[in-house]
Structure 1
Amino acid sequence: MYKIIDGVKVWGEPQDNAVSQAVTCSMHGNVVQTLLMADHHKGYSQPVGGVVVYDGQISPSGVGYDIACGNKAVRTNLKHDQVKDSLPRIMDQIAKGISFGIGRNNNERVDHELFDDEDWNVYKQIGVHEHDALKALARKQLGTVGSGNHFVDIFVEEATGDVWLANHFGSRGFGHKTASGFLNLANGRKFSDKAPGESMDQAPTLLDVKSEFGDMYLKAMNLAGRYAYAGRDYVIEQVLGILGALPTFEVHNHHNFAWKEQHDGKDVYVVRKGATPSAPDQLGFIGGSMGDISVIVKGKDSQENKEAFSSTVHGAGRIMSRTEAAGRMNWKTKTRSGGKVTPKQMEEAIDAYGVELRGAGTDESPFVYKKLATVLEAHKETLDVMHVLKPIGVCMAGANEFDPYKD
C-alpha cells in the first residue's frame, strides 16, 4: 500500500529529494495526481519513478530527454542447455555486432518506413535545417543502443529453462534533441539554441495539448516512440540471428512517455518518467541489475492499481549515483578518481552470480541498485509476476564510453 506525503502517493521507502521534486510537480499546472513508484529517485525536474497526471497538459521535462526509453523482451525457442557452453562466444558476437555507445560498429544502413511518416513535417514547421539534421541523425543512429544503463541481455527462466532476450534503450540523439528543442521553444528560445541547462529541481515545463507547441510536441514525441520501437525491434532481430533462435513470445513497452488515457471516466495525460504502464492484464518487462532477476509482470484489476493510475516501477531503482559509485571522470585523461565500488568488487559479484559480462562500468554494478524483489513487494496489490528471469549474459557500453544521449 502507498503512503500520502503532501498529496503525493508514494510507494516503497520515500526518498526525500525525490518526494520534494514530486511535490513541486504537483504545484504546477492542471495536476490531477502526482505519484512515486517504489523505484523512485531524484531526476531532472520530475523524479525518476515519478508519474504526473495532467488535465489537458503535457510536460516535455516530465517525459525527459530519453523520449520513449523502454524495453523489449522475447522468449526464444532455445533452452539453457543449448547456449550455456557457447555463451562466451555469443556474448563476444553481441559486443562486436551490436553498436553500443555513440557510434556504430558496422556500416549497415538501417532503413524503416517511419522515415516516411508525415509527423516529420513537425520539424519542417520548425525549420528545414532542423528537419534535415534530425532526420539524418535518426537514420544514422537507428538500431544503436547507447550507453549509461542501456543493455542487451540474455536470460534464463529458471522454472522452465527457456532462454529470453531483452534490451533497454530509447530514441537516442533524435529524442534528446527533440526534448531539448521543445524545452527551448517553451521557454522563448529557438529550437536549435544552446539551452542553459535544466536544473534538477526546477518546476516542470508545461504545454497545453491544444496549443501549437503542445500539438507539435505530441506528434514529435509519438514519432520518437515509433523510432524507439523500431530500434529495439532491430536489435532483438540481430541478437536472434546471432543465437540462431526464433521468438515465441514478446513484451514491448516504454517507460519515459506521456499517454492519453481515461481514468474515472475522464481523458487525462499520464506522464511517466521511469515508470511502466500497467493497466489490468497489460504485460510489462521490469529489469533488475546485472546481478539480480528481471521479471515479466501483468497489471491487476485491483482498486490499488486504479489508484496508481495503472502505473508501476520500471526497474529496481538506484541507491547510489554514477559519480558516487564510479568516481569523478576526467575526460582529458580518461581516468577516474574516488568511487565506492571497485572493478574488482564488481567482477567478483558478477562471477558469483554467474553472468558473462561485456562492457559496463562500476556505476552499473549490482551495488548501485535496490533489490528488485523489494520494489515489487511494494506493488504486490497492483501487479502479478508472470515470469522470473535470471541474467546469464549482459552486454553494455564500455566503462568510460562518452555518450551525450545516454540518459
Structure 2
Amino acid sequence: MNNRIMENKRINGNDLIALGYKENFALGEALKINKKRLGFTREQMIVKFTEVLTNPDAYLEDAIFQPLVAALLNVDEVAKNVITLKEGKQAYKIYGKEQIEDGALLQMDVAMKLPVAVAGALMPDAHQGYGLPIGGVLATTNAVIPYGVGVDIGCRMALSIFDVPEEHLYVHHDFYKKVLLDHTKFGAGHGYLKHERVDHAVLEHHAFETNDFVRQLKDKAWTQLGSSGGGNHFVEFGIMEFKESDMALGIEKGRYVALLTHSGSRGLGATIADHYTKLAKKVCQLPYEAQNLAYMGLDTAEGQEYWLAMNLAGDYASACHEVIHEKIKTALGAERLAMVENHHNFAWKELWKGEEVIVHRKGATPAAKGVLGIIPGSMATAGFLVRGKGEEAAIQSASHGAGRLMSRTKAIKTLAPDALKSMLLDHGVTLIGAGMDEAPMAYKNIHEVMAAQEDLVDVIASFSPKIVRMADDGSRED
C-alpha cells in the first residue's frame, strides 16, 4: 500500500485491540486521543499507544496521553460501578433482514441486553448509528435513552395536500420553484435575522422555564423557527396520487399538488441531545460496548428534565413545519384538503402487552392501528402515505424512509454526478441544493423496503417529488 495512504489512514478500535487494548473505557479514551490528529503519523501513534499500554507510569504527566493512563490504571475501579447487561441474545423482530448491515444488527443486540429493555424491533430501513441503530425501536421500563431518541429530536415529516390539479405544477413550474426559494432556509446553524422572524405559541412553552440550560436556548429557537436542517432534510413539491378515494381524509381519487417537508428541532434539539447524553453517561455507567445507550430513570430529576426538554424539542419541530407550510400555502393562495404529520427520533409512553413502557423510535414511524404516517423514498423516488396496522411484534412501528445503502463518505467518493443528473432528468425532478451524499443511489430501494413491511402498514397514496430543495452548504443535522 502507498506509504502516504498508510500514514493518513486513521487508527481504529480493531488496531488498538490488536495491540492488546481491551474493549473497555480505556479503549474509548485511546480513540478520543486518536481523533484529535495530533501531528503524529499513523505509525508514530501506534508506537505511542503501545508504549502507554506497556508502561503507563511513564506517561502519567503527559498532556496528551494522561487521560488514557488514568483509564488504564483505573479499569478495575471503574468496572465496580458499571451496570451489568443481561446475558445471552434477547429475541426481537427484524423486518427486511437481508437489507440490514451487520453493524445495525449488533447495535440492536446490545440494546436488547440493557436491564431496562422490554422489547425491540428493527425496521427494514435500518442502518448503523450511535447507540440505538437508526431504524431501531426499543421499549424500556421507566427509563429514557437520549441516544435511543437521537440527536435531531422530534424530526418529522409533514404533508399538505392542496386542491390543485397536477397540471398546475407543470405549467407554473418556475413559480413553484420561486416559492421554495423565497420561503425556506436550510443548513445547520442557519436561521432568520430579527426582522424576519415569526412568532409562534411554542416560544411561550412552559418547558423553556424548566432550568437555566433550556432557558438560554430560547433565542436560538426563535432565530431558527421555520427553517430546515442539513443532511437529508428537504422541502419539496410533488404529485400526490390517490388510486382510491379515502373517506377518512375526505379526499377523492385523483392526482393533486402536495408539499412534503422533512426536518427536526434544529439547534435546540441538537443542544438538548448533547447535554443530556453527557449527563446520562455520568449517572448511568454501562459497559464500553453499550455506553452510548446510557439511560435515565423517569423517577429521577435528570430523567424528568430530559423528558420535558425532549417534548419541548418535539413541539418546536412541529412548529417549524407549521410555519413553513403556512408560509407556502399563503404564497400559493391554495386551499388545503388535508395535512398529515408524523415524527420519529422520539420516545413515547405507550402500552405494550398491557404494560406501560417507554417506546424509543429512532428513525422509525409510529404505526398504531389507524394512525397515518409518511414514508419518503429519496429526492427522485416515490414516497408513501400510509395507515398503521398496529402490529405488536413491530411495537406498532414502521420504517421512516428508504434508509441509507451507503455512508455519506462512500456516496461522495463513488457516485457520479452525471448519473444523478440523468436520474433526476428521467424522473422530471428539479433539484435545488443537496450533494452527492443525498443521491437516490445512496439509499435502499424504497419498494423493497415497503414490501418488507406489508404487515405493518397499508399504503393510502403515493407521492412523486418534482421540485426539491435541500441544504447546499454540506451541513449535517440528521
Question: TM (normalized to structure 1)?
Answer: 0.87
Cα contact 1:29–1:57 (8 A) shared by 2: no
Instruction: Select which of 133, 156, 179 maps to 1:70.
Output: 156
Distance 1:394 1:20 in 2: 35
Partner of 2:274: 180
Distance 2:311 2:95 in 1: 29
Partner of 1:329: none
Residue 237 of structure 2 is aligned to residue 154 of structure 1: yes
Superimposed CA distance per residue, residues 333-357 of structure 1 (whole angstroms, 9 cap, x where no aligned partner): xxxxxx1112221111111111111
Distance 1:372 1:51 in 2: 19
Matched residue SS, 1:395: strand
Residue 435 of structure 2 is aligned to residue 361 of structure 1: yes
Partner of 2:46: none
Residue 314 of structure 2 is aligned to residue 225 of structure 1: yes
Distance 2:90 2:103 in 1: 13
Instruction: Select which of 362, 378, 381 maps to 1:273.
Output: 362
- Structure 1's unaligned 5+ residue stretches are 190-198, 327-338
Matched residue SS, 2:293: coil
Partner of 1:9: 93
Cα contact 1:25–1:203 (8 A) shared by 2: no
Partner of 1:113: 201
Could you say which structure has the larger radius of gyration? 2
Cα contact 2:101–2:127 (8 A) shared by 1: yes
Question: Displacement of 1:265 after TM fit?
Answer: 1.1
Matched residue SS, 2:361: strand
The one-letter code matched in structure 2 to 1:84 is Y
Question: Displacement of 1:402 after TM fit?
Answer: 4.5
Residue 104 of structure 2 is aligned to residue 104 of structure 1: no
Distance 1:115 1:381 in 2: 40
Cα contact 1:98–1:105 (8 A) shared by 2: no
Question: Displacement of 1:29 after TM fit?
Answer: 2.9
> Greater shift after overlay, 78-87 or 154-163?
154-163
Partner of 1:165: 259
Cα contact 2:435–2:474 (8 A) shared by 1: no
Partner of 1:204: 293
CA RMSD of aligned residues (A): 1.8
Matched residue SS, 2:173: helix
Distance 1:321 1:202 in 2: 23
> Greater shift after overlay, 101-110 or 111-120?
101-110
The one-letter code matched in structure 2 to 1:277 is P
Superimposed CA distance per residue, residues 154-182 of structure 1 (whole angstroms, 9 cap, x where no aligned partner): 12124412111110001000000001111
Cα contact 1:360–1:396 (8 A) shared by 2: yes
More strand by share: 1
The aligned runs of 1:238-387 (5 Å cut-off) are 238-301=327-390, 305-326=391-412, 339-387=413-461
Distance 1:215 1:351 in 2: 50
Partner of 1:194: none
Question: Displacement of 1:110 after TM fit?
Answer: 1.6
Question: Displacement of 1:23 after TM fit?
Answer: 0.6
Cα contact 2:281–2:291 (8 A) shared by 1: no
The one-letter code matched in structure 2 to 1:188 is K
Cα contact 1:30–1:54 (8 A) shared by 2: yes
Cα contact 1:154–1:163 (8 A) shared by 2: yes
Partner of 2:48: none
Superimposed CA distance per residue, residues 130-187 of structure 1 (whole angstroms, 9 cap, x where no aligned partner): 3443111111111110210000011212441211111000100000000111112223
The one-letter code matched in structure 2 to 1:156 is I
Matched residue SS, 1:161: strand
Superimposed CA distance per residue, residues 87-140 of structure 1 (whole angstroms, 9 cap, x where no aligned partner): 133213312431111323664112111222221222x2xx3xx34431111111
The one-letter code matched in structure 1 to 2:465 is P
Matched residue SS, 1:182: helix
Question: Displacement of 1:245 after TM fit?
Answer: 1.5
More helix by share: 2
Question: Displacement of 1:403 after TM fit?
Answer: 3.3
Matched residue SS, 1:276: strand
Distance 1:20 1:188 in 2: 24
Question: Displacement of 1:202 after TM fit?
Answer: 4.1
Cα contact 1:18–1:41 (8 A) shared by 2: yes
Question: Displacement of 1:200 after TM fit?
Answer: 9.4
Cα contact 1:90–1:242 (8 A) shared by 2: no
Cα contact 1:67–1:176 (8 A) shared by 2: yes
Residues 112 and 365 (structure 1), Cα distance of their counterparts in 2 relative to 1, 3 Å cut: same
Partner of 2:37: none
Residues 311 and 234 (structure 1), Cα distance of their counterparts in 2 relative to 1, 3 Å cut: same
Cα contact 1:87–1:356 (8 A) shared by 2: no
Cα contact 1:88–1:356 (8 A) shared by 2: no
Partner of 1:195: none
- Structure 2's unaligned 5+ residue stretches are 1-88, 244-253
Partner of 1:140: 223
The one-letter code matched in structure 2 to 1:278 is A
Cα contact 1:58–1:208 (8 A) shared by 2: yes
Matched residue SS, 2:196: coil
Partner of 2:475: 403
Question: TM (normalized to structure 2)?
Answer: 0.75
Matched residue SS, 1:187: helix
Superimposed CA distance per residue, residues 229-263 of structure 1 (whole angstroms, 9 cap, x where no aligned partner): 10011111122223221211111111110000011
Matched residue SS, 1:268: strand
Distance 2:272 2:140 in 1: 21
Cα contact 1:260–1:269 (8 A) shared by 2: yes
Distance 1:206 1:131 in 2: 20
Partner of 2:77: none
